Chains A and B, each alone.
Chain A
């Protein structure tokens, strides 16, 4: 089945999400759709999967113009979408999830689960998916849950599969497995669309690449003839530098001095064990480590969000071990939380409200008990332009911004004031190259102007390119130090330390 999008335009009120998009999707081919957050990738695919009606333009299926009245009709026509956020019932088995909505029935309209299980097994075998139809979904790792979503789509006999940012939630090993499945599907003659903003992946898996920017197709090409740099430039609209330029390393006095810090989890297990570290003026200290090795607890302890079991924390020579988050914040400690949706912002608040979420009590923004909304709005507008947050107005709900812009909003809030120490946890997770480059440059600026920076990231490349010194956390402890006094910062050695290898 071949699908052609011809002149697709989609407007939301005055906002143009897609403008005159022409695109062909062919069987037996993986089409990589590349674009920054907010470039209109998801809108385009929602048009294709029947969720949105295009404002202009037509969808041709095997040359026949088609209008979908809803997702149901698109599914019937053989177009299936695997969403970034899975739509599975956790307490149902794989087979039950797969048949949800299209349950096969036997005699007297009773549910025929046996047939369902059989069909799931057949799909399994055809594409090498290896999913147990009787396992409860909540017991499955994320990578397998994604396969359940794929089975769901195949079960509804889809010929066109759309994957929306499929690798965002996967570990590197799961990504490799996922690519094998994609290849198997392609070889079986399915047409595949792979939406992403990750350059490496799109070059690896696609047969053809289309780049979307500001709602328009700005380029199409063969991955064999394209480089990452070319793709990044097409996607962002200007040359993107992957190299970080920073001033020579000249650390000053100690800002943060942590000694023998131990933090317990709620169940009294040890999360952080006997960690000592220093962050000096004008340096970036990176904490590398596979997620779940105590980094979150460390950040919470440093920022005053959790109680510590033992040890002391000093900021600029003052003991802050028992100070509240608010008091530490007032001393110039800024914190970019690891999960912006959960703890970094409020989706139902405006951009302006989010901009003062932790500074509203400041004299600039309130007088006594009264908020000074005029000042809040003006300074927010200033921050929005300074930090390149793309929003129509400061009164826009933060939840309506794209992920990259939400993160820039959080970064703006934390960095647009006098700070001395920045603690940035996963500052660029899930962002596109343009936003990553921007946030990195801001962090470097902070370092160059004499602030201390502590970066916690599970992206080793990020740690490597930014940090002056690197500490590796494993099972709650700092197991290795690289740079300056320690061993030279070398990727393989750090990777080994992250895996717990002791040298």
Chain B
């Protein structure tokens, strides 16, 4: 059973629709207590959604999901972040610059920052070619340079190149997927990326 974290933003129905289509059992998590690594009813957690970095982090802190997710990921339990679910894994974002000397900290599971695209036409909206690292489990069997659907203004910039599982180009070549142990996250929306997106979700869920 997959647990989907609903922190109150974005179109989560489409993630559920995609999992249902693949015959993968999933339901929304009832609360952060269901993410206890020792007693969770879930084999893996998906954290999807759009939203503002600061708003999302505030919501995660208030709901208790922030801590629960950090513990889940810290225990190397299967995790898939989508869109803001990738960005929140990092330490900070240019979307939420420090004010009054206070920094909005991300979950800080992966060292690095989230930056704004250095170009005129932002957000990036559309299907972009995605170059996966050789041997990536997430992208196994997916044609090289397949297109995925992106919609975002900020991109992740990890400190270590080892954390990058795939790259795309939009003004810069940037990290569009991370993979580290049981931790995976993608900047694009696999649930809106047609056949390639469904294959990626199946790859992730199949490894549980």
A and B are partners in one complex rather than unrelated chains: no
